[in-house]
Amino acid sequence: MDDAAIRKLARLLGGKQPSLALARLDAEKQAILREVVEQIVHDVRRIDVTDLWEQDQLANTYWILFMSGVDQEDEGLLARELLFWSTVFTKHSARVACIQSSDRNLFKYCTSYFNVKRWPTLIFSDRPNMVPFLSIDGQLLTYLSERRGGIRRLLTELHALVESGSSIQDIGQTIATEQFWKHLKLVYREAKTLVSVSIKAGSIDVGGKK
């Protein structure tokens, strides 16, 4: 919180001359005032994952694509594919958010929340608070995007598994099996080198060696 903001709030303590009001406070009270103001600002700016979705946007699946936002063609293609799929094929039963690094506060909060270290990364859950969630690494996304219809088949299959009653934990186990990739018409011996499933606190990581 800068000094200008502190001076404005100090007017509440001493009429039209905030500098005099601040001068009447000892160092300890000035520190307390600054701490209170900074806490208020922090609370006002607090971000929650559920803020990504409109209150009336209840869905079966929720997806967040993290992008560097530096005009990367592959990221743009992924974003368009994801948005097109959610609109045309799921009839809005899937909700999608694309977050770029230029969305500074939101990007910083969400990458920390989901422990995203590189992008593109796709986060998937069956709940608006995204707990638990499944993380699809950029290596796997690139592999799928190079195969015609690969991304769309993966999205559709994961969405269908949720709609059939599978939990995120169940899906995390399913996606590591040969049968899953055969069903997607992809070569398992190629895909498996990019797929690793590890269950951590509230999350499942899929794709890419860490």
The domain at 51-206 falls in which architecture?
3-Layer(aba) Sandwich (3.40)
Report the length, in residues, of the chain. 210
- Interatomic CA distance for residues 34 and 29, integer angstroms: 9
Q: Which two tokens mark 120?
A: 């593109």
Q: What does the domain layout of the chain look like in residue ranges?
A: 3-46, 51-206
- The answer to whether the CB of 150 falls within 8 A of the CB of 143 is yes
- Burial (Cβ within 10 Å: 0-12, 13-18, ≥19) of residue 187: exposed
Helix, strand, or coil here: 99?
strand
Residue pair 208/137 in contact by the 8 Å Cβ criterion: yes
User: Per residue of the chain (210 residues), what is the pLDDT tens digit?
Assistant: 455 555 555 555 555 555 555 566 667 666 776 776 666 554 544 566 776 776 556 799 999 999 987 678 889 889 999 999 999 999 889 999 999 988 888 898 888 888 888 889 899 999 898 888 888 888 888 888 888 888 999 999 999 999 999 998 898 889 888 899 888 888 887 777 666 444 444 555 666 544
